[in-house]
A and B are shown apart, each in its own frame.
Chain A
Amino acid sequence: MSRARVEERVFGVLRWVVIAFLALITLLPFCYMLLLSVKPIEALLLDPGRLWVPVEELTTATYEEVLRPTDEGGQGFVRMLVNSAVVSLGTVALTLLAAVPGAYAVSRLRFAGGRHVGVLFLAVYLFPATLLAVPLFVMFARMGLQGSLAGLAIVYIAQTVPVSVYMMRNYFHTVPRGIEEAAALDGCTRLQTVRKVVLPLAVPSLTATGLYVFMIAWNEFLFALLFLAAKPERWTVSLGLQQLAGGVEVSKTVLMAGSVVLTVPVVLLFLAAERLLTEGLAGGADKG
């Protein structure tokens, strides 16, 4: 057999092995999480290696404990879900407001220092969150903003604006210039052109960017820990879950139920808009 034939066979088989392996490592941890969350803790301790739960053992007590308000002996995750939603939606709104004009300017207009500004927006992306954490921590302590959800949303802008500018810039590049020129000929000012012509065309991109920003804000942990740790009534789900894990009295199965509660909203959102999001993120990858 020729080398080409051998290789074709080998790589043909290898490809399926790889696909199976990838499916396993990406899906198994999530199945494991889901499974433990409906298992009684005794069953887990008795036989940690078993991957299935008999129907008669299934329990939802873990979810009840996680979701029940704290004054009824639960962990109060409903309130945390609300907090997370408020911060995340606020971050999306603030980020889009801040990033849209800059992304448009950088992608479309030639102006003095334009290239430098474009580079700055990307460079900002490279600075470590820890570098920002120190002064923001001090600033918030000073202004008494610790424990404020609005303050947290403002901090998140630092992490989301650069990515948003990058994602939207790629999209604005694809809007044909002719459309804008036509609008200008019809007497639209630049601002009107953007508002009435460019933005409606960019709705898919705005949605993708908004979703991605929502995920960043929903999943964020460091700044929530720094700013909200002292105020349990303001905890986001991420922070609440981590704080729960620190206590010994909460069983692992309840923790897993909390993990599911934290993961489900963002995964549902992602699956609903997967194509849009991946194209928005990887757009520009084929430019080399």
Chain B
Amino acid sequence: MTPRTPTEPETSDEPEGRGGHVHVRARRAPRAPRRVPTAAQRENRAGLAFVTPTLLVVLVVVVLPIAWTVLLAFQDARLIDIQGMGLFGHWTTDNFRAVFGSPGFWTSLTTTLVYAAGGTAGSVLLGLVAALALRGPFRGRGPLRAAMLLPYVAPVVAVAFVWQVALSPQYGIVGEWGRRFLGWDRPIAFLTTRDHEVSVAGVEFEVPLALLTVIAFETWRYFPFAFLFLLARLQAVPGTLEEAATVDGATVSQRFRHVLLPQLMPVIALLSVLRFIMTFNKFDDVYLLTGGGAGTEVVAVRVYEFLTARYDVGAAAAQALVLAVVLMGLLGLYFAFFADRTGEEA
């Protein structure tokens, strides 16, 4: 940044300053030996003035509530007592003991991890495949690109119901077609089957069907997000790089592996982190599809259950907090090992 010469008088930086009169005042020789602030100082003040409103809003609607969650997690808080309770009730770690002690918690944390990892990998991979396929121009690419963003843009409640209806064993099209064309004995209840027996080459094993289905939903719903970012990055790759590789005799897969992938890696890493965070905290997709049943109870759904069904605010806050701490731990590990790959700025 080039420092500007201080042509404006000091008052002009005040948001209330009126440009019309300042020139007159500026021409007068400064009587007092007060130093005119440097450009940097004025920029500093302007920056603080501009950032303050946003910062205040963020503090009030995000930071304060989070701080309060932390406090609530350490109190014996039920919604009924909350009315009369002060900000600082008596402190207790009961909530955490109860949370860690309850049998469902560790399972749900594992479920959350599997769900987040699966949903992230699925959506980023499918997004990458889509970006590569739609990279070159062809007839109808524009409309198709727009259509491909639909799952991401459409309201979650609506798409979750479409999936529910389509996968329903009674009236769903998937079960019916599976019976008709794939030779199923009866429609598979995708969203309500915890373990489904599959036999591949005579070997029988069980797959967590409902969990896999919500992961598939997550993949479907969020691959457009990855697609969008990867396509933008792909289009910024200089064509000369690939031409040179082609001239050197590199095949399609070699060009992808050695030319495109290194260019895409920072975006892929960033997308993976973002998607993992979002999926790890996801509530509505799972809640709407399965209600947390059949082995899909993620921690976010448990928090909701504790809050609304049991009115146990303390335990709900404690679980939300554990979720956030686990996430931060994972992110910390990630950045400790891969910091050099992600690039310094989003």
Residues of A within 8 A of B (CB): 3-4, 7-8, 11, 15, 18-19, 22-23, 25-27, 29-30, 32-33, 36, 44-45, 47-49, 51, 98-99, 101-106, 109-112, 114, 117, 120-122, 124, 126-139, 141-142, 154-155, 157-158, 161-162, 165-166, 177, 181, 184-192, 194, 215, 218-219, 221-222, 226, 237-239, 241-242, 245, 252, 255-256, 259-260, 262-263, 266-267, 270-271, 274, 278, 281-288
Contacts and interface: CB of A to CB of B under 8 A. Distances in A.
A286 B237 CA distance: 8
Interface string B60-72: 0111111011001
Interface stretch (B100-108, B150-158, B201-209, B332-340): B150-158
B22 interface: yes
Nearest to A44: B171
B168 to A, nearest CB: 8
Interface of B: 1, 4, 7-8, 12-15, 17-20, 22-23, 40, 43-48, 50-55, 57-58, 61-66, 68-69, 72, 77, 79, 82-83, 129-130, 132-134, 138, 144, 146-151, 153-159, 161-163, 165-166, 170-173, 175-177, 180, 220, 224, 228-233, 235-236, 249-253, 263, 266-267, 277, 280-281, 283-284, 288, 299-300, 303-304, 307-308, 313, 316-317, 320-321, 323-324, 327, 331, 343, 345-346
A138 B82 contact: yes
Given A19-B133, A19-B134, A266 B321 contact: no
Contacts of B66: 127, 131-132, 135
Q: Mostly helix, strand, loop or mixed at chain B's interface?
A: helix
A122 to B, nearest CB: 6
Contacts of A105: 46-48, 50-51, 54
Nearest to B180: A49
A127 to B, nearest CB: 6
Q: Which of A188, A239, A255, A286 is the most central at the interface, judged by chain B CB atoms within 10 Å of its CB?
A: A286
A30 B146 CA distance: 14
Contact of B283 (A15, A130, A135): A130
Nearest to B56: A98
A262 B313 CA distance: 32
A222 B69 contact: no
